[in-house]
Structure 1
Amino acid sequence: MGFQLAFTPSGRLTVVETAADDFALGATTAEAVERQLSRFAHALAADQAEGLFRLATEKIEFALSPSWAFWRELAVRYLAALCHTPEAAPGAVPDVPPPSDAELTSLVLNVPPMPGAEYVNESALSGIWEDLDRWVRKQVAAEGGTLASFLERHAPLWHQVGRVCFHLAENRHDADHPFAFLATYASGVRGGSRVVYRPLSEALREFAGAKNKSALVRLLTPVHRESQ
């Protein structure tokens, strides 16, 4: 037995059972895959947004089938945007920039075959994004802590995204200074299991070029604070 995601005319995700799923298992057993997908299915049935949050934040050690991968990618994009927002007061979440019209159109053009694929349009994707955003805001407000503490508790890897990281690196070309700090920033999470680090200079060029002031502020404020 397998599970496939479907999209209803009312704009909701639902899970349908199939005879089998097309997964690249790797080192994961078919039974483990079925258990994890079953957890996702139950979470989606209880609360669509919570199910998507789990789908994006849990470690997955097998290649998802196209329908699962598509909706996971949308949730991952939301989390990436969320993690690049500036710090806010406890219980609050800053405005999360929605996908651009071009991004939504690109997603629609790449909807994989699935039941109800014809109902997936730009408006429907915006609705899913907004639903996920409302759920995150509700959870952060209920816990009363900061967004950072919420992510640290429920999505530890994503807690690092959007932050500057300093790595102690060997400096072989200077005997007087054998070690140096390498500045990077965490741009996202790959496969739900590994934080992606990029040179800090790339972040500065990317956000400055896109005029993404809020992301720059979030990125550089902790560095400025620690330098005082």
Structure 2
Amino acid sequence: MARKRFGIIGLGRFGSYLARTLAKEGQEVLALDRSEKAVQAVAEEVSYAVVGDATQKETLEHLGFHKVDAAVVAIGTLSQSVLVTLYLREMGVPRILAKAQNETEGKILSLVGAHQVIIPERDSAVRLARSLVMPNLLDFLPLLPDFYIAEIPAPEEFLGKSLKELDLRRHYRVHVLGVKKGFSEHMHLFPAADYTIEKGDLLYLAGHRKDLERFMSP
């Protein structure tokens, strides 16, 4: 995976956690906050941590925010977030994500240029609800409505059959992304058509919820 450069503006709980996590994933992180204490808290973990005022466009330009692959606006007030989002859009940042407190703020940030709005409490609640309803659910792809990835123990009727014989795409409208043995960490990514399903296999399937639900445990 190519190393990317991320700009994090605002180092509260959300921003600092995000900055640290991206850095642990080997990404280049440029972190900015008005608070010297907040900056010092992440300085040893990220590529660059700077004390500065993001509502000054000159500060963003001087620090090179126009060169990042994506910027996350995670500052406190709506007026500040709107201003910074506008500046980033004017600077041509290819992907701008903005943290909002609620749906109304989210709509405003979208209107002024945010490509994606993050509402932490809502988003975490949605993920929790989905995991409670569909325990096998691993993730969902936000670019495609109602599209999920699920971990499914191989059904009894699949055992001893090859993926070609099962033809899951035609019969069930799901795609096999990988297969993992139940007691192994090794996964066969995009297994060949002649792969034969064995007892204990875990299938990683992608598809729409209604098509995956037939495989879910009651």
Q: What is the TM-score normalised by the length of structure 1? A: 0.24
Higher helix share: 1
Name which structure has the greater RCO, CA cutoff 8 Å, separation 6+.
1
Higher strand share: 2
Give the TM-score of the pair, scaled to structure 2. 0.24
Larger Rg: 2
